[in-house]
Structure 1
Amino acid sequence: MSYEWWIGARYAGLSRTGRGGRRGDRFVSFVAASSMAGIALGVAALIVVLSVMNGFQTQVRDRMLSVLPHIELYWPGVPHQQVLDHWQALAREAEADPAVRGAAPFVAAQAMLARGQSFSGVQVRGIDPATEPRVSALRDQLESGTLDSLAPGAYRVIIGSQIAQSLGLRVGDTVLLLAPQGSISPAGFSPRMRQFTVSGVFASGYYEYDATLAFINVEDAARVFRDSGTSGVRLRIADMQQAPVVARQLLAVLPPGVSAADWTQNNRTWFAAVQTEKRMMFLILTLIVAVAAFNLLSSLVMAVKDKQSDIAILRTLGATPAEIARIFLVQGTLIGVVGTAAGVLLGALVAYHIDVIVPWIEHLIGVQFLPQQIYFISELPSNPQLGDMTVIGLTSLALSLLATLYPSWRASRLQPAQVLRHD
């Protein structure tokens, strides 16, 4: 080991020789240890927060996709009944792709539900009860009623739990569905209306869908929304993350005129907002690591000030300015590496066991952080990702290295004659 590494490790408090001896050595080691702790805490906090944000994003995404399909294939401008007459052929072509796991027909449109003096705008999805379980988990999310109740011609509807609460509906109640199309008469515009019977209530756990989605039979939807909305085939694939790639592959082999939209396109605004929030949170929490890096810089400046006599003696023994600079570069780098490694280990430990740590804290202080009636989840989700940890660790190391440059340069510029004359 070169003497620069040995002295740098001693000043960083990582050498046994540096743990005893003079009071100045102990003070420098204490300041170095505080710098390591600051970096470790900053890195750990950043990893835990981003892991929790990833967990929330995963929870919401999975709940959204439990109701929505991964990919939708549709024919713009083609009558719904014509689409429903030929959807099996399109489904067979799509299922020839090994990534596709299931297919089902759909009709999508917007409408208004009315009961008494209460109204609620909804997104209506016409589905086939027999094939719908292939592409969604709607059957498992029903609080009351059954999916098979959506028989063609029965004009029944399954609504979200928030719609049922806002309109005061229960299974067996009737509700008026108003389609955007209608007829114009001397008395004015008359919307197309149809009475439906509530046959089920579902709860996906995602408020927006529970408050805006309603499901009816696909044949009933084709009759009610014959002049509006879209219709086609909904697909579920093996890996939801590959939905954009699979959609492009299907478009290359499907007949002309067929369009495709994957779940990332249909929810582009939400996911863009989440990604922006995550980036901003990363930048904000990186300031914690930056503060620790400034603490490292100040500790190195103090170490240079405290070790002026040692530096002067080394210079008189033949040490070059570059070698002196390397001593403090080694000290700062070791502090940054050890602090970052400790922070990554601590952050990963908390992030991977947050489902145990948070309930213990809640039990200890008697406060529930996530009331289920408000957040629809009772446990704090966490999804640590190796990519995030890598970026955080490299960022911490880069800031630590930058913090060592100025003190090292200052140490290399010290003149032995001037230092020894004052001593």
Structure 2
Amino acid sequence: ISMIGLTLGVAVLITVLSVMNGFDRELKTRILGMVPQATVVSTEIIGDWEQLADKIKEDPEVSAVAPFIQLQGMLTSNGQVAGIMVTGVEPEYEKNVSIINDHMVEGSIDTLQSGDFSIVLGEEMVQSLGLQIGDKVTLVLPEASPSPAGVIPRFKRFTLTGIFTISPEVDSLMAFIPMGDAAKLLRLPEGAQGVRMKLNDIFTAPIASQKAAAIAPEQLYPNDWTQTHGNLFGAIQMEKAMVGLLLFLIILVAAFN
């Protein structure tokens, strides 16, 4: 009975640890590979974002940085409509902080060049809108523009030049366009809205974002994945608690046997 009890306990521990390790790897390599781990966002457009990025990279916890402009809107094509979170990026910098370039199904993120009004979408979104590479898709912004015909929403047609696949949640919610085109769409001067960071340890995100914001405290506001994706943070915390509880129970069973 003692041997059977110990065998079952160790088997359960190995199984649960394998599941937890897979879950942890999925979170860190996929979802947190796309979601900004830490960011600083400015109240105004940062014209000299390269200088800010160089200062942020002085922190040893920061492995890479990239500028961005973020906007929300709706995509319409073939009579279908879907909400989307659009990020204006610089491809050469984005490849250093995101895993998107490693998960492209068709096309490349390098096709996002300012002035081309190109867009890269997730596979889930492409299928729901019935699109293919080279098709046109219309991005509608919630901001309205006055015209002689009345107030009409602002919209712009983009060409689909790339398709990525990460996970269903990410694929259906995120899109990427050139940062210069995002600025034109929002009628902003050239520059970045903020800078995102890739960290050596994702759990140092709150401290890293606050350090970066301290460079210009009156202008920059910190943010990190523990705030924007608190459910992921809670899931990782619960995972650690469960492993500790399992170890305690197995030791308890071994002692009892």
- Structure 2 counterpart of 1:172: 134
1:197 is aligned, of 137, 159, 165, to 159
- Structure 2 counterpart of 1:251: 213
- Structure 2 counterpart of 1:45: 12
- Structure 2 counterpart of 1:212: 173
Report the CA distance shift for 1:57/1:226 in structure 2 as closer, same or farther (over 3 A): farther
- Structure 1 counterpart of 2:193: 231
Q: Distance in 2 between matches of 1:241 and 1:273?
A: 13
Q: In 2, are the aligned partners of 1:125 and 1:216 still within 8 Å (CA)?
A: yes
Equivalenced residue count is: 254
Q: Per-residue displacement from partner, 1:321-372 (whole Å, max 9, x unpaired)?
A: xxxxxxxxxxxxxxxxxxxxxxxxxxxxxxxxxxxxxxxxxxxxxxxxxxxx
Q: How far apart are 1:73 and its partner, in Å?
A: 1.3
Report the CA distance shift for 1:96/1:190 in structure 2 as closer, same or farther (over 3 A): same
Q: In 1, are the aligned partners of 2:68 and 2:87 still within 8 Å (CA)?
A: yes
2:70 is aligned, of 108, 125, 143, to 108
SS state of the match for residue 132, structure 2? coil
Q: In 1, are the aligned partners of 2:13 and 2:247 still within 8 Å (CA)?
A: no
Q: How far apart are 1:277 and its partner, in Å?
A: 7.2
Q: Per-residue displacement from partner, 1:91-126 (whole Å, max 9, x unpaired)?
A: 111011122222211011111110021011111010
Tell me the amino acid that sits aligned with residue 195 of structure 1.
R
Q: Distance in 2 between matches of 1:270 and 1:188?
A: 44
- Structure 1 counterpart of 2:28: 61
Tell me the amino acid that sits aligned with residue 248 of structure 2.
L
Report the CA distance shift for 1:54/1:189 in structure 2 as closer, same or farther (over 3 A): farther
Q: Distance in 1 between matches of 2:186 and 2:3?
A: 65
Q: Distance in 2 between matches of 1:159 and 1:393?
A: 43
SS state of the match for residue 113, structure 2? coil
Q: Distance in 2 between matches of 1:145 and 1:152?
A: 17
- Structure 1 counterpart of 2:183: 222
Q: Distance in 2 between matches of 1:393 and 1:277?
A: 13
Please tell me whether Structure 1 or Structure 2 has the larger radius of gyration of its CA atoms: 1
Q: How far apart are 1:56 and its partner, in Å?
A: 1.8
Q: Per-residue displacement from partner, 1:383-418 (whole Å, max 9, x unpaired)?
A: xxxxx3x653433334665x69xxxxxxxxxxxxxx
Q: Distance in 1 between matches of 2:128 and 2:207?
A: 39
- Structure 1 counterpart of 2:80: 118
Q: Distance in 2 between matches of 1:128 and 1:106?
A: 7
SS state of the match for residue 170, structure 1? coil
Q: In 2, are the aligned partners of 1:141 and 1:203 still within 8 Å (CA)?
A: yes
Q: Distance in 1 between matches of 2:217 and 2:202?
A: 24
Tell me the amino acid that sits aligned with residue 211 of structure 1.
S
Q: Per-residue displacement from partner, 1:51-87 (whole Å, max 9, x unpaired)?
A: 3133123213311233233221111x32xxx32x121
1:396 is aligned, of 226, 250, 253, to 250
Q: In 2, are the aligned partners of 1:69 and 1:236 still within 8 Å (CA)?
A: yes
1:89 is aligned, of 18, 28, 51, to 51
Q: In 1, are the aligned partners of 2:40 and 2:212 still within 8 Å (CA)?
A: no
SS state of the match for residue 92, structure 2? coil
Q: How far apart are 1:254 and its partner, in Å?
A: 4.2
Report the CA distance shift for 1:99/1:263 in structure 2 as closer, same or farther (over 3 A): same
Q: In 1, are the aligned partners of 2:66 and 2:197 still within 8 Å (CA)?
A: yes
Tell me the amino acid that sits aligned with residue 153 of structure 2.
P
Question: Which TM-score applies when normalising by structure 2?
Answer: 0.87
Q: In 2, are the aligned partners of 1:160 and 1:211 still within 8 Å (CA)?
A: yes
SS state of the match for residue 97, structure 1? coil
| Structure 2: unaligned runs, 5 residues or longer | none
Q: Distance in 2 between matches of 1:263 and 1:231?
A: 18
Report the CA distance shift for 1:185/1:238 in structure 2 as closer, same or farther (over 3 A): same
Q: How far apart are 1:134 and its partner, in Å?
A: 2.0
Q: Does 1:268 align with 2:230?
A: yes
- Structure 2 counterpart of 1:129: 91
Q: In 2, are the aligned partners of 1:123 and 1:213 still within 8 Å (CA)?
A: yes
Q: Per-residue displacement from partner, 1:182-202 (whole Å, max 9, x unpaired)?
A: 135686642100010111111
Q: How far apart are 1:180 and its partner, in Å?
A: 1.1
1:160 is aligned, of 104, 107, 122, to 122
Q: In 1, are the aligned partners of 2:119 and 2:162 still within 8 Å (CA)?
A: yes
SS state of the match for residue 211, structure 2? helix
Q: Distance in 2 between matches of 1:273 and 1:137?
A: 22
Tell me the amino acid that sits aligned with residue 113 of structure 1.
L
Q: How far apart are 1:245 and its partner, in Å?
A: 2.9
Question: Which TM-score applies when normalising by structure 1?
Answer: 0.55
Q: How far apart are 1:256 and its partner, in Å?
A: 2.7
Tell me the amino acid that sits aligned with residue 42 of structure 1.
G
